[in-house]
């Protein structure tokens, strides 16, 4: 049996996971947080539409893969609500998003869906 | 005639030639040099009158050159000029001569000036000497060699002096004695019985007028051993090591009744190096064993020549910076909180600050 993981190990793991995230992951977490802040449900379909509009991907499969990878890392939570898969950022995801913001690697870009929602 | 410029150049020129003309910017230094002939004070004034030295600054030497330029150029024709490359006076005045020679056209063989340059021992001598030498070798000397307007250039090295801790007086005497052996070649051809070949004064002057570096040496020649091995083992310790020879000259002295054919082995050695030397064989009754005096003319780009000096100079500069820091600079230990600095940067950029604010509002940070 291997040794138990220490706090340092967890920190290192978190750092490595965060380093591997790309712009698309960054935006999904950001939009999820923004949606929650606006009290607006943000789901996988909205994610795909926003990514397509920004030229990040043209296929829904890719958008789904990005969302699922974030969910696998426990950075977001996907909740089935009224036949929609809504996305919520977790506290781990918030930490990862914070780390990405501080690293300066990515710049926030607006979600068309959330902008529309904010107007109403 | 021989000309000595600056302190080091004057001491050697005066030892070699009682009639040597000695040049300096300092009257005191001029009068301190024993021997030699006429003394020329190169005039250069500071605010408080004539300089009493050139502070290791070649610009002062070069300014002083203007006051004696015409006279010195006339005298240097067909002569040997001795100078150090590290100090201010020798470096500066010799730079002036070399620059003028570079610009000259059609210098007759008999009027070519040879130079005996004393290079510092980079490991132990001052960094100013080393830096001045680098400037000199890559600047005026390189241009003069390219022009083809100089005679032989002897690159004397202070290495032996510093490594064996020899007094300056003793070292200069040995250097001059060594040079005398080489310069006596045409006289020996006049004086002793010729067994083969001939190097007369004209041949020797022609050889001396070629614009290459000259490495000469002499040693007892053992005909049972390959000449090349003996030559390699007996390079002149007062000169920089030679590169592959372009031209060569040798004098073989054999004892009375000695074998006059020993020189063929030496000729074969040079033939294997694609060099056709001028040579002579004489019978010297004062010798117990054969002795050979060899001179190799080689070309080495000054840029390559200064590689060693550059390495040392960089080392000097690094050591100086380190010493200055150790002595004068106290660096405070900076307590840097990287996270804090990153937050400050995000705030400054503006981008991302809103994201963090959102996360805080949600209570997830």
Among B39-53, B94-108, B194-208, which is the least confidently predicted range?
B39-53
Q: Which of B36-45, B125-134, B164-173 has the highest mean pLDDT?
A: B164-173
Q: Which residues of chain B make contact with A91, given a CB cutoff of 8 A?
A: 364
- How many angstroms away from the CA of A74 is the closest CA of chain B? 14
Is B47 an 8 Å CB contact of chain A?
no
Is B357 an 8 Å CB contact of chain A?
no
With a cut of 80, say whether residue B235 has pLDDT above it: yes
- How many angstroms away from the CA of B350 is the closest CA of chain A? 10
Asked if B258 and B286 touch (Cβ cutoff 8 Å), the reply is: no
pLDDT in tens, B267-311: 999 999 999 999 999 999 999 999 999 999 998 765 556 666 666
Is A114 an 8 Å CB contact of chain B?
no
pLDDT at B347: 79
Question: Could you say which of A90, A101, A103 has the minimum Cβ distance to residue B355?
Answer: A101
Q: What percent of the residues of chain A are helix, what percent strand, and what percent coil, each to the nearest 5?
A: 60, 10, 30
Question: Could you say which of A36, A103, A108 has the minimum Cβ distance to residue B355?
Answer: A108
Q: Which of A62, A65, A70, A60 is nearest to A26 (CA)?
A: A70
* Confidence at A101, pLDDT banded by 50, 70, 90: very high
User: Which residue of B359, B361, B363 is the best one to mutate when testing the A interface, meaning the one whose CB has the most A CBs within 10 A?
Assistant: B359
Is A55 an 8 Å CB contact of chain B?
no
* φ/ψ (deg, to 5) at A85: -100, 95
**Which CA distances in Å does A83 have to A33, A44, A78?**
21, 12, 12
Is B355 an 8 Å CB contact of chain A?
yes
A102 and B343 within 8 Å at the Cβ level: the answer is yes
In angstroms, the CA B14 to CA B22 distance is: 8
Is A107 an 8 Å CB contact of chain B?
yes
The model's pTM: 0.64
pLDDT at B63: 81
pLDDT at B317: 66
| Side-chain-side CA neighbours of residue B336 (13 Å) | 7
Q: Which of A94-108, B107-121, B179-193 has the highest mean pLDDT?
A: B179-193
* φ/ψ (deg, to 5) at B151: -90, -155
Q: Name the one residue in this structure whose structure tokens are 């997830």.
A: B364
B361 and A90 within 8 Å at the Cβ level: the answer is no
Q: Which residues of chain B make contact with A95, given a CB cutoff of 8 A?
A: 365
Is A77 an 8 Å CB contact of chain B?
no
pLDDT at B61: 81
User: Which residue of B351, B355, B361, B363 is the best one to mutate when testing the A interface, meaning the one whose CB has the most A CBs within 10 A?
Assistant: B355
pLDDT at B54: 63
pLDDT at B49: 56
Is A94 an 8 Å CB contact of chain B?
yes
Q: Which residues of chain A make contact with B364, given a CB cutoff of 8 A?
A: 33, 89-91, 93-94
Q: Name the one residue in this structure whose structure tokens are 């372009």.
A: B246
- When comparing pLDDT for B35 and B56, which is higher? B35
* Confidence at B28, pLDDT banded by 50, 70, 90: confident
pLDDT at B143: 87
Mean pLDDT, residues A69-73 taken together: 96
A30 and B355 within 8 Å at the Cβ level: the answer is yes
pLDDT in tens, B201-220: 999 999 999 999 999 999 99
* Confidence at B170, pLDDT banded by 50, 70, 90: very high
With a cut of 80, say whether residue A76 has pLDDT above it: yes
With a cut of 80, say whether residue B55 has pLDDT above it: no
* φ/ψ (deg, to 5) at B216: -115, 155
* Confidence at B158, pLDDT banded by 50, 70, 90: confident
Q: Which residue of B has its CA nearest to A95?
A: B365
Q: Name the one residue in this structure whose structure tokens are 């030496």.
A: B266
* Confidence at A55, pLDDT banded by 50, 70, 90: very high
- When comparing pLDDT for B165 and B52, which is higher? B165
pLDDT at B306: 61
Is B349 an 8 Å CB contact of chain A?
yes
* Confidence at B352, pLDDT banded by 50, 70, 90: confident
Is A2 an 8 Å CB contact of chain B?
no
- As a residue count, chain B comes to 365
Sign for the CA dihedral angle at B69, B70, B72, B74 comes to: positive
pLDDT at B336: 76
The mean pLDDT value of chain B amounts to 87
């Amino acid at each position: 049996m291997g040794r138990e993981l220490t706090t340092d190990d967890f920190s290192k793991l978190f750092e490595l996971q965060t380093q591997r995230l790309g712009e698309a992951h960054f935006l999904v977490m950001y939009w999820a947080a923004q949606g929650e802040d606006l009290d607006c449900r943000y789901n996988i379909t909205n994610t795909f539409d926003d990514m397509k509009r920004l030229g990040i991907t043209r296929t829904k499969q890719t958008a789904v893969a990005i969302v699922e990878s974030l969910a696998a890392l426990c950075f977001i939570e996907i909740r089935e609500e009224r036949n929609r898969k809504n996305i919520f950022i977790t506290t781990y995801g918030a930490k990862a998003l914070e780390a990405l913001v501080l690293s300066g690697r990515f710049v926030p870009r607006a979600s068309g869906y959330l902008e529309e929602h904010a107007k109403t | 005639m021989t000309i000595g410029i600056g302190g080091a150049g004057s001491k050697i020129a005066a030892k070699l030639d009682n009639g040597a003309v000695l040049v300096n910017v300092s009257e005191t230094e001029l009068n301190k040099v024993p021997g030699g002939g006429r003394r020329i004070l190169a005039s250069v004034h500071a605010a408080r009158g004539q300089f009493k030295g050139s502070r290791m600054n070649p610009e002062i030497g070069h300014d002083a050159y203007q006051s004696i330029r015409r006279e010195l150029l006339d005298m240097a024709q067909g002569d040997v000029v001795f100078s150090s490359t590290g100090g201010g006076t020798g470096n500066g005045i010799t730079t002036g001569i070399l620059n003028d020679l570079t610009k000259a056209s059609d210098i007759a063989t008999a009027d070519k000036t040879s130079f005996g340059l004393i290079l510092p021992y980079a490991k132990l001598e001052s960094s100013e000497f080393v830096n001045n030498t680098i400037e000199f070798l890559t600047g005026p000397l390189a241009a003069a060699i390219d022009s083809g307007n100089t005679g032989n250039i002897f690159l004397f090295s202070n290495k032996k002096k510093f490594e064996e801790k020899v007094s300056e007086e003793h070292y200069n005497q040995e250097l001059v004695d060594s040079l005398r052996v080489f310069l006596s070649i045409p006289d020996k051809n006049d004086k002793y019985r010729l067994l083969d070949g001939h190097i007369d004064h004209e041949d020797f002057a022609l050889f001396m007028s070629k614009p290459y570096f000259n490495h000469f040496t002499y040693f007892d020649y053992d005909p049972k051993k390959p000449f090349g091995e003996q030559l390699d083992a007996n390079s002149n310790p007062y000169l920089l090591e030679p590169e592959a020879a372009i031209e060569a000259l040798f004098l073989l002295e054999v004892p009375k009744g000695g074998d006059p054919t020993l020189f063929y082995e030496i000729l074969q050695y040079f033939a294997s190096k694609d060099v056709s030397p001028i040579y002579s064989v004489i019978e010297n009754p004062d010798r117990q064993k054969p002795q050979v005096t060899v001179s190799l003319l080689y070309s080495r780009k000054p840029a390559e020549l200064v590689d060693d000096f550059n390495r040392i100079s960089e080392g000097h500069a690094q050591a100086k910076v380190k010493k200055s820091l150790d002595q004068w600079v106290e660096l405070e230990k900076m307590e840097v909180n990287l996270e804090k600095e990153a937050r400050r940067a995000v705030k400054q950029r503006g981008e991302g600050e809103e994201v963090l604010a959102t996360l805080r509002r949600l209570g997830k940070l």
